[in-house]
């Protein structure tokens, strides 16, 4: 190699799933059928009106040009309407909403907008690995704050009270939580806002799983008292509307914060496809019955996912939300990656070890619900045939 790699790549590990998917492809090339219950990629289609809108817009020869990075007014209005309808959250679509090519892109924009090299970022442990990866790539220092499984995976407030928070500019939170499935709770969101206000930290609430819990748990951090000055929220249409491959989300919050994120966006993108924006506008206006049917499907899958983990001897907390099931391995001495590798090799079912999400995930497995019921039933049968309890001990 003539040109050396950037220094930042030396502190960013390869995404776990990229390496694991290579192994799965190799196993499949050798003639094995692998059931992938690792990735959170929805297999369900968007609403028919969403598809029809995309097709009609794509057929219009006027719709292939560059688009404004702020999105079309109709899309911003639909996003604001969605926030009002589902979260009773009032936002100005012109100044307090910024469409994004996926909320993962938004994580980078937020960090670039508010964090200088050498500043610190608080990330939950366990939590989404991208929070850490983006912080490190932008030269920030990562401070992991532990979550408390005994308190519904809320932040361990006692541990946070003893942390040196000097230099912290940004804090990531995520409820309904990935990977643990802890649902959003109003008191918890209020506590997060008050913590951020007290320490003058910008709180970014990553909220892609809100539609995949109970209907009475639809919460946005922006409705909390004091959130206007202390918090922003990322929303994603990947999980809530089955549009993961179309890469559409948005940032919401005070106009000053949204303007700063928009300045970053205007320098690194040229706007989303107009046809995708039209489709997203239609999706955001879906009838409430569509969301009820989506939740019902995931509830059916969740029951099977819980049975799969129970066959492995895992303990599954009730009331989880999102598109995963999180289970605690019976024998804490077993390393989660060893258990997951053994299941993949023997039962040909891919589950994710909790250690992917931080030290707080040691002793846990995560199962994705992004497969239809017959596939989950097949996975259950394979587990019953090849694996006995406690988790990881082959029959």
pLDDT digits (tens, 9 = 90+) for 37-86: 998 999 999 999 999 999 999 999 889 888 988 999 999 999 999 999 99
**Using 50, 70 and 90 to split pLDDT, how confident is the model at 12?**
low
**In terms of Cα–Cα distance, which of 362, 323, 133, 341 is closest to 242?**
323
Give the whole-angstrom CA distance, residue 67 versus residue 317: 45
What is the number of other CB atoms lying within 10 angstroms of the CB of residue 84?
A: 12
**In terms of Cα–Cα distance, which of 38, 15, 20, 17 is closest to 369?**
38
The CA-atom distances, in angstroms, between 173 and each of 231, 235, 394 are 10, 13, 37
Question: pLDDT tens-digit profile of 91-118?
Answer: 999 999 999 999 999 999 999 999 999 9
Give the whole-angstrom CA distance, residue 181 versus residue 115: 28
**Using 50, 70 and 90 to split pLDDT, how confident is the model at 390?**
very low
Give the whole-angstrom CA distance, residue 74 versus residue 282: 10
What is the number of other CB atoms lying within 10 angstroms of the CB of residue 311?
A: 20
- Residues 169-194 as b or e (16 or more Cβ within 10 Å = b): bbbbbbbbbbbbbbbbeeebbbebbb
Would you give the distance in Å from CA 49 to the centre of its chain? 25
Mean pLDDT of 237-249: 96
User: How many helices and strands, by DSSP H and E, does the chain display?
Assistant: 14, 16
CA pseudo-torsion sign 334, 156, 188, 285 = negative
- Report phi then psi at 158, rounded to 5: -65, -45
The CA-atom distances, in angstroms, between 131 and each of 140, 248, 338 are 11, 19, 25
For residue 45, the surrounding DSSP H or E stretch is: none
**Using 50, 70 and 90 to split pLDDT, how confident is the model at 388?**
low
CATH dotted code for 7-45+289-394: 3.90.1150.10
To the nearest whole number, what is the mean pLDDT of the chain?
93
CATH T-level assignment (fold) for domain 48-284: 3.40.640
Instruction: Please tell me the predicted confidence (pLDDT) of residue 182.
Output: 97
Mean pLDDT of 269-289: 95
**Using 50, 70 and 90 to split pLDDT, how confident is the model at 14?**
low
Residue 9 pLDDT more than 80? no
Instruction: Please tell me the predicted confidence (pLDDT) of residue 394.
Output: 39
pTM beyond 0.85: the answer is: yes
Alpha-carbon torsion angle 367, 219, 216, 300, nearest 10: -20
List the chain domain ranges. 7-45+289-394, 48-284
Residue 190 pLDDT more than 60? yes
Under the phi-then-psi rule, with left for phi > 0, alpha for psi from -120 to 50, and beta for the rest, what region is 348? left
Q: Which of the 8 DSSP states describes residue 330?
A: S
Instruction: Please tell me the predicted confidence (pLDDT) of residue 19.
Output: 79
Say what percent of the chain tops pLDDT 70: 96
Tokens of 182: 């802890």
């Amino acid at each position: 190699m003539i040109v050396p790699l950037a220094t930042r790549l030396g502190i960013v590990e390869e995404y776990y799933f990229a390496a694991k998917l290579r192994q799965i492809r190799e196993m499949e090339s050798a003639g094995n059928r692998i059931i992938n219950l690792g990735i959170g990629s929805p297999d369900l289609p968007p609403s028919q009106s969403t598809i029809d809108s995309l097709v009609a817009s794509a057929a219009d020869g006027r719709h292939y040009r560059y688009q404004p990075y702020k999105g079309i007014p109709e899309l911003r209005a639909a996003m604001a309407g969605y926030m009002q309808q589902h979260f009773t959250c009032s936002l100005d679509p012109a100044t307090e909403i910024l469409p994004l090519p996926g909320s993962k892109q938004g994580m980078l924009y937020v960090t670039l907008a508010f964090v200088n090299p050498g500043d610190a970022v608080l990330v939950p442990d366990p939590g989404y690995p991208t929070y850490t990866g983006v912080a490190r790539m932008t030269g920030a220092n990562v401070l992991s704050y532990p979550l408390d499984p005994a308190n519904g995976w809320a932040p361990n407030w006692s541990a946070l009270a003893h942390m040196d928070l000097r230099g912290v500019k940004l804090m990531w939170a995520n409820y309904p939580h990935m990977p643990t499935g802890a649902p959003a709770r109003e008191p918890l969101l209020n506590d997060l806002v008050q913590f951020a206000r007290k320490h003058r930290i910008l709180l970014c609430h990553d909220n892609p799983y809100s539609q995949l819990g109970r209907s009475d748990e639809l919460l946005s951090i922006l409705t909390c008292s004091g959130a206007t000055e202390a918090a922003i929220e990322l929303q994603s249409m990947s999980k809530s509307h089955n549009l993961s491959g179309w890469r559409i989300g948005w940032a919401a919050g005070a106009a000053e914060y949204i303007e700063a994120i928009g300045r970053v966006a205007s320098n690194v993108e040229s706007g989303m496809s107009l046809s995708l924006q039209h489709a997203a506008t239609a999706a955001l206006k879906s009838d409430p019955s569509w969301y009820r049917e989506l939740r019902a499907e995931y509830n059916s899958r969740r029951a099977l996912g819980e049975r799969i983990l129970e066959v492995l001897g895992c303990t599954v907390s009730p009331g989880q939300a999102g598109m995963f099931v999180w289970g605690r391995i019976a024998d804490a001495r077993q390393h989660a990656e060893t258990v997951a590798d053994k299941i993949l090799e023997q039962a040909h079912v891919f589950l994710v070890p909790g250690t992917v999400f931080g030290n707080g995930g040691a002793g846990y497995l995560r199962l994705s619900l992004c497969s239809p019921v017959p596939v989950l039933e097949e996975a259950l049968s394979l587990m019953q045939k090849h694996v006995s309890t406690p988790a990881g001990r082959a029959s």
